[in-house]
């Protein structure tokens, strides 16, 4: 039996890719031809196999998880990927990794793409290709019900303890404001929430939609969303190898088609309590200055 309730999103440190040469020189022209071949080879390989292998955590409710008493993988991200693959005439095979291992698995060639509520960031874009976003959101934080963990603004995070993944955007935000991060492995959501409740940590920064539903799933734990703090607007997308240009074009066109015909909205409302996460939020979201994400 597996429970799919975990609040981890990941950020891997990116390395700068080599710049492309000019096409004026004959050798550079050969490189250009190789680049074009590389850009299409990934897609050609997938079409030949008839299958795309996609990495996900399987523990991120409600994006990628196993319902209680079931081994069936589902969630907003999973169903979006299934539909996109179907429209591309591909079977989809999901492989599950801890969130800190997803991008490494793709770099090593064990998987073809990643979908796990993965935020588009400048650092990641240096090393990976991202599809057009299929989800828009922003960050909030979970705090103790009794005293809001003594937090009334982001500046109050100084000296507090944040529960999260070591390489996440959310930990970067917490540490930017002076907090320390207590890290976890691939554990379920109740571990995070109870640590806030009992004071081992003070808060958890994460996605608004994910946190809202996680709290509804465990109402006995004495924590809540902070009533006033909304910050760091986000976009989530499918991650692919940097040189998979043709695959990216195919997936981009498919995501647009799914948005235009209402499929993204339909899937979102199923998993996000009737809310449409496929559209940009209208709330006033604080931008965090001085932190390049």
Mean pLDDT of 54-59: 94
Q: Is 245 helix (H, G, I), strand (E, B) or coil?
A: helix
Within-domain flag for 278? no
Strand, helix or coil for residue 210: helix
Q: Which two tokens stand for residue 68?
A: 């209680």
Using CA atoms, how far apart are residues 177 and 161, in angstroms rounded to an integer? 11
pLDDT of residue 38: 58
Q: How confident is the model at residue 271 (pLDDT cuts 50, 70, 90)?
A: very high
**Band of pLDDT at residue 39, cut at 50, 70 and 90:** low
Identify whether 244 is part of a domain. Answer: yes
Average pLDDT over residues 285-290: 92
The mean pLDDT of 110-137, rounded to a whole number, is: 95
- Of 26-35, 141-150, 178-187, 276-285, which one has max mean pLDDT? 141-150
Q: Which of 63, 268, 228, 215 is nearest to 140 (CA)?
A: 228
Question: What's the mean pLDDT in 121-150?
Answer: 96
Average pLDDT over residues 223-246: 96
- Are 168 and 202 in a shared domain? yes
CB 283 within 8 A of CB 140: no
pLDDT band at 185 (very low <50, low <70, confident <90, very high): confident
pLDDT above 80: residue 2: no
How many angstroms separate the Cα of 270 from the Cα of each of 72, 80, 103, 117, 277? 16, 12, 28, 16, 11
Cα-Cα-Cα-Cα torsion 240, 176, 216, 143, nearest 10 degrees, comes to 170
Helix, strand or coil, per DSSP, at residue 239: strand
Please name the helix (run of DSSP H) or strand (run of DSSP E) that holds residue 94, with its range, or none.
strand 91-96
Q: Which residue has the higher pLDDT, 175 or 98?
A: 175
Q: How far apart are CA 137 and CA 225, in angstroms?
A: 15
Q: Tell me which residue range forms the domain holding 115.
A: 35-134+237-271
Q: Is residue 13 part of a domain?
A: no
Q: Which has the higher per-residue pLDDT, 281 or 180?
A: 180
Q: Is the pLDDT of residue 18 over 80?
A: no
Residue 74 is assigned to a structural domain of this protein: yes
pTM: 0.74
108 in a structural domain: yes
> Is 158 strand, coil or helix?
coil
Same domain membership, residue 171 and residue 141: yes
For 72-107, how does the pLDDT look when each residue is reduced to its tens digit (9 = 90+)? 999 999 999 999 999 999 999 999 998 889 999 999
| Mean pLDDT of the chain, nearest integer | 87
Residues 125 and 253 in one domain: yes
pLDDT of residue 143 exceeding 50: yes
Domain-located, residue 62: yes
**Could you tell me which of 259, 207, 260 has the C-alpha nearest to residue 268?**
259
| Whether residue 187 sits in one domain with residue 161 | yes
**Residue 18 located in a structural domain:** no
286 lies in some domain: no
Q: How many structural domains compose the chain?
A: 2
> Domain check: are 140 and 92 in the same one?
no
User: So what's the pLDDT on residue 187?
Assistant: 77
Which of 120, 103, 125 shows the shortest CA–CA distance to 112? 103
* Region of poorest pLDDT, from 5-19, 29-43, 196-210: 5-19
Same domain, 64 and 118: yes
Distance CA 279, CA 119 (A): 15
Q: Based on the fold, state whether residues 247 and 123 are members of the same structural domain.
A: yes
What's the whole-number mean pLDDT along residues 209-232?
Answer: 94
CATH number of the domain encompassing residue 67: 3.40.190.10
With 60 as the cut, is the pLDDT of residue 26 above it? no
Q: Does the pLDDT at position 37 exceed 80?
A: no
Do 116 and 150 reside in the same domain of the chain?
no
Give yes or no: residues 73 and 127 share one domain: yes
What integer pLDDT is reported at residue 8 of this predicted model? Answer: 34
**Domain shared by 63 and 143, yes or no:** no
Based on the domain organization, do 126 and 147 belong to the same domain? no
* Lowest-confidence segment of 16-25, 38-47, 144-153 by average pLDDT: 16-25
**Could you tell me the pLDDT band of residue 61, with boundaries at 50, 70 and 90?**
confident
- Considering the domain architecture, whether residues 185 and 204 belong to the same structural domain is answered as yes
89: enclosing H helix or E strand: none
């Amino acid at each position: 039996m597996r429970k799919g309730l975990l609040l981890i999103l990941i950020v891997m440190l990116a390395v700068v890719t080599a710049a492309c040469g000019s096409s004026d020189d004959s050798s550079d022209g050969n490189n250009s031809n190789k680049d074009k071949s590389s850009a299409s080879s990934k897609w050609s390989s997938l079409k030949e196999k008839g299958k795309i292998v996609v990495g996900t955590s399987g523990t991120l409710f409600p994006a990628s998880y196993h319902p209680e008493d079931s081994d069936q993988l589902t969630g907003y991200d999973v169903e979006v990927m299934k539909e996109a693959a179907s429209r591309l005439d591909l079977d989809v095979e999901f492989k599950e990794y801890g969130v800190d291992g997803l991008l490494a698995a793709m770099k090593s060639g064990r998987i073809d793409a990643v979908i796990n509520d993965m935020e588009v960031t400048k650092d990641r874009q240096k090393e990976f290709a991202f599809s057009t976003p299929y989800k828009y959101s922003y960050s909030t934080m979970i705090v103790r019900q009794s005293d809001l963990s003594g937090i009334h603004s982001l500046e109050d995070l100084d000296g507090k303890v944040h529960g999260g993944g070591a390489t996440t955007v959310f930990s970067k935000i917490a540490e930017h404001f002076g907090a320390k991060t207590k890290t976890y492995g691939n554990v379920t959501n109740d571990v995070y929430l109870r640590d806030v409740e009992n004071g081992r940590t003070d808060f958890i920064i994460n996605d608004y939609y994910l946190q809202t539903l996680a709290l509804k799933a465990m109402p006995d734990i004495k924590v809540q969303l902070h009533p006033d703090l909304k910050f760091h607007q986000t976009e989530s997308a499918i991650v692919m190898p940097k040189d998979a240009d043709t695959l990216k074009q195919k997936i981009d066109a498919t995501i647009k088609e799914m948005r235009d015909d209402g499929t993204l909205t339909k899937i979102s409302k199923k998993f996000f309590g009737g809310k449409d996460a496929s559209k940009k939020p209208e709330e006033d979201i604080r931008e965090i200055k001085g932190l390049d994400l």
